[in-house]
Amino acid sequence: MPIEALIFDFDGVVLDTETPDFETWRAVFQLHGAVFELSWWSQFIGGSTSSVDIIGELERMTGRTVDRHQVRETRRQRYLEIVSASPMLPGVVDYISDAKRMGLKLGVASSSNRSWVEGHLTERGIIHHFDSISVSEDVRYVKPEPDLYLLAASKLGVSPENSLAIEDSAKGVTAAKTAGMFCVAVPNVATQNLSLGHADVRLDALSDMPLESLLRAIKT
């Protein structure tokens, strides 16, 4: 089936927001004499983290209560500073420009909220390239359920089978494959040790394989 649309995850694919998320929480835990394990945190990456009681985990590990508001706000401020200063991940701009040149439709399917995704896409001057943006407010269930990818394909007017999803997490790959899409996994530091074997292709970075080469590989 010919690929007619390219659908990006956002966090960890367009921007590596996940590594600084982990690193800033790890710094908080270290400050309190505890260890923030990536193996624990990685189980939540790609889905909704709003219900994860990270500070509760810190209090459980240390046996002490903390000023939750202060910890949360100080950590988030540092996190936002790092993300705002982060460049887009290698190959993203090339994939976008190549997709446009080839007449492919472009979408985003993210478990994050609209203000987060659209804010960063706008800040980096690329939001106008996308024909649709599907986010957590648009569906009942986020990844690993397929809802976001099915919605993205519907908005773009293409079938899931004619869509190529770009993901970095196990939950994201599961969502894309359950939706019936071809999926490329491009893990970052925070997701590189996750089980991503259910993706069709795994790359260290999008810059490792031009889009045209990837599409040729899919056809074969």
Helix segments in 86-181, DSSP class H: 92-101, 114-123, 147-156, 170-178
Using an 8 Å Cβ cutoff, are 153 and 7 in contact?
yes
Within 13 Å of residue 64, how many CA atoms lie on the same side as its CB?
Answer: 7
Catalytic: 11? yes
Which of 11, 21, 147, 168 is catalytic? The answer is 11
Token pair recorded at residue 130: 């996308």
Distance from the first to the final alpha carbon of the chain: 11
Strand-by-strand arrangement of the 132-134 sheet: 132-134, 105-109, 5-8, 163-167, 182-185, 201-202
What single DSSP character describes residue 88? P
Catalytic: 200? no
Active site residues: 9, 11
